[in-house]
Amino acid sequence: MKKLLFTIFALSSSLLALAQSPPTDTTAMRHVTIGSIEVIPEATRVKGMLLLNKDVQYELEGAVDNMYNFKYEIAEKQFKSIRRRYPEHPLPYFLLGLSQWWKIVPTNIQTLKYDDLFFAYMDTAIYKAEEMYEQDEKDFEASFFLAAAYGFTARLHSERSNWRKATVASKRSLEYMERAKAGNGLSPEFLFGEALFNYYAVWIHDEYPMLRPVLAFFPNGDKRLGIKQLRYVANTGFYTGTESKNFLMKIYANEEGNLNEALKISQDLALKYPDNAYFQRFYARLLFVQGHFTRAERISEDILGKLAQNMPGYEAVSGRYASYILAYINQNKYRDFEKAKKYYQDAIMYAEMSNERESGYFVNSYLNLARIADQQNDKVTAKRYYTIVLQQSTDKKSANYKEAKEYLKNNKKAGKTTRKSK
């Protein structure tokens, strides 16, 4: 929570700085609407834009899919091929940086080993885009890459608690996003940043009232429009389509509480990218929480199989998700307590490996182990597990804490031996 608040503060500070600087004037342009998505009629400044080059898109289609399917080495060879032909363009450097980002994502952004290369590629993309921008301040393509590269840079800096750098990068990203808006009618790629802003500007306002005085200086967001724009980009964007689906999936699941829509998008991503550990575990979790146990079981077993094979992107975090799901299913569907105990222990092990002892899966694994032990009339083991639940539960009003406290209160004498009188 503390990290999220600092991240939002960094974003808010940058938005305030943006609001106090003069925005790009696009009011003289005539607006049209595609559905309910505001765009600007196609401009004439398209010639030479690599971002819109269909031949390059055709060549990169397999590379982008390989990246999202965690075939990093193959994808990066293809990106480097584009770099050899267009060494002064930000596109290949941005894609190489994005590849590093998707190596970080499966670890819940914890691993540091790809940071240097990620920042190096994004810095190069920024440098190349700045050169384009200096030659022509109306180069929407340059603005797009500056907004995108600074945006991803800000995200990782905030995850690493580099708040000053995160704030500076956020401010620059938003400045160039404002300038790139004028290219919305050229391609859905340009609409991606505005869609995120429209949704999250309102979301921050609703979820964090303490930031409302700062948000009063910002351009107004539009939550519903943001979702519609994201759906449009998800369906039509080449470079930003999958990123839009990823955000939509998380928004529907975590912010909007629309699990049916989240599941539809998650299934689409999981089927298209069967080796993407992040998409697979998100899909498994959504299946699980909605009671689709048969499919959740199959996906979870597949995740653990790929983890055992050391496939790229399959880390302890994915192991924790999959193990817990299989443990719960074996406990409650099959009543196979021995298998359930093994999987709960695995979930605990993976949580410790990824330093996520505060996660719900970690505490609930101990809780269910305690319940199983009690059902098997092993009061000593049940007490040991309930004691851990009591120690690890941060919310003393939670049902888990109350259950553990009540059990330990009622079983104080369990396991104690009494002296026989002589």
Listing DSSP states for 289-341 in one string gives HTT-HHHHHHHHHHHHHHHHTT-TT--HHHHHHHHHHHHHHHHHTS--HHHHH
Q: Is residue 279 part of a domain?
A: no
Q: Is residue 68 part of a domain?
A: yes
pLDDT at 18 over 60: no
Model pLDDT, residue 221: 78
Same structural domain, 177 and 217: yes
Q: Residue with structure tokens 């980002």?
A: 101
Over residues 331-381, the pLDDT tens digits come to 999 999 999 999 999 999 999 999 988 889 999 999 999 999 999 999 999
pLDDT at 303 over 80: yes
Same structural domain, 75 and 172: yes
The token duo for 17 is: 């700085």
Give the C-alpha separation, 25 to 141, whole Å.
17
Q: Residue with structure tokens 């770099």?
A: 83
Q: How many helices (H) and strands (E) does the chain have?
A: 19, 2
Q: Which domain holds residue 387?
A: 285-410
Q: Is residue 200 part of a domain?
A: yes
Give the C-alpha separation, 361 to 320, whole Å.
7
Mean pLDDT of 309-320: 97
Same structural domain, 90 and 39: yes
Point out the least confidently predicted range of 270-279, 314-323, 393-402: 393-402
Give the pLDDT band (50/70/90) at residue 17: very low
Q: Which residues of 201-210 are buried (b: 16+ CB within 10 A; e: fewer)?
A: bbbbbeebee
Q: Is residue 421 part of a domain?
A: no
Number of other CB atoms surrounding residue 410 within 10 Å: 9
Give the C-alpha separation, 66 to 235, whole Å.
19
Q: Is residue 15 part of a domain?
A: yes
Q: Which of 128, 240, 134 is nearest to 184 (CA)?
A: 240
Question: Sign of the C-alpha dihedral, residues 324, 291, 203, 173?
Answer: positive
Same structural domain, 63 and 186: yes
Q: Which residue has the higher pLDDT, 259 or 18?
A: 259
Number of other CB atoms surrounding residue 33 within 10 Å: 8
Q: Is residue 266 part of a domain?
A: no
Query: Cβ distance 241 to 233 under 8 Å?
Result: yes
Q: Which residue has the higher pLDDT, 44 or 280?
A: 280
Give the pLDDT band (50/70/90) at residue 180: confident
Q: Average pLDDT of the chain? A: 86
Same structural domain, 203 and 87: yes
Long-range pairs, 326-330, Cβ under 8 A, ≥24: 326/297, 326/300, 326/301, 327/365, 327/368, 328/288, 328/368, 329/293, 329/296, 329/297
Which residues on neighbouring strands pair with residue 32, listed in sequence order?
39
Query: Cβ distance 379 to 359 under 8 Å?
Result: no
Give the pLDDT band (50/70/90) at residue 207: low
Q: Is residue 233 part of a domain?
A: yes
Number of other CB atoms surrounding residue 318 within 10 Å: 27
Please tell me what DSSP assigns to residue 44: S
Please give the radius of gyration of the chain, using alpha carbons only, rounded to the nearest integer: 25
Q: What is the pTM of this model?
A: 0.86
The token duo for 250 is: 């998380």
pLDDT at 30 over 70: no
| Domain harbouring 71, CATH code | 1.25.40
The one-letter amino acid at 229: Q
Give the pLDDT band (50/70/90) at residue 132: very high
Query: Cβ distance 293 to 284 under 8 Å?
Result: no
Give the C-alpha separation, 393 to 399, whole Å.
10
The share of the chain scoring above pLDDT 90, in percent, equals: 67
Same structural domain, 340 and 237: no
Same structural domain, 291 and 205: no
Same structural domain, 34 and 86: yes
What ranges in 25-108 are assigned the alpha helix state H? 54-68, 72-85, 90-104
Q: Is residue 262 part of a domain?
A: no
Please report, in angstroms and rounded to a whole number, the separation of the first and last CA atoms in the chain: 60
Query: Cβ distance 278 to 105 under 8 Å?
Result: yes
The token duo for 2 is: 């503390």
Give the C-alpha separation, 60 to 121, whole Å.
18
Torsion angle defined by CA atoms of residues 242, 248, 253 and 259, in that order, rounded to the nearest 10 degrees: -90
Q: How many residues in the chain?
A: 422
| Domain harbouring 350, CATH code | 1.25.40.10
Mean pLDDT of 12-28: 35
Q: 216: which residues sit within 8 A by CB, 6+ positions away?
A: none
Domain count, the chain: 2
Same structural domain, 21 and 148: yes
Give the C-alpha separation, 289 to 178, whole Å.
39
Mean pLDDT of 87-106: 97
Same structural domain, 63 and 171: yes
Same structural domain, 193 and 140: yes
Same structural domain, 59 and 199: yes
Q: Which of 117, 56, 115, 48 is nearest to 81 (CA)?
A: 56
Query: Cβ distance 43 to 49 under 8 Å?
Result: no
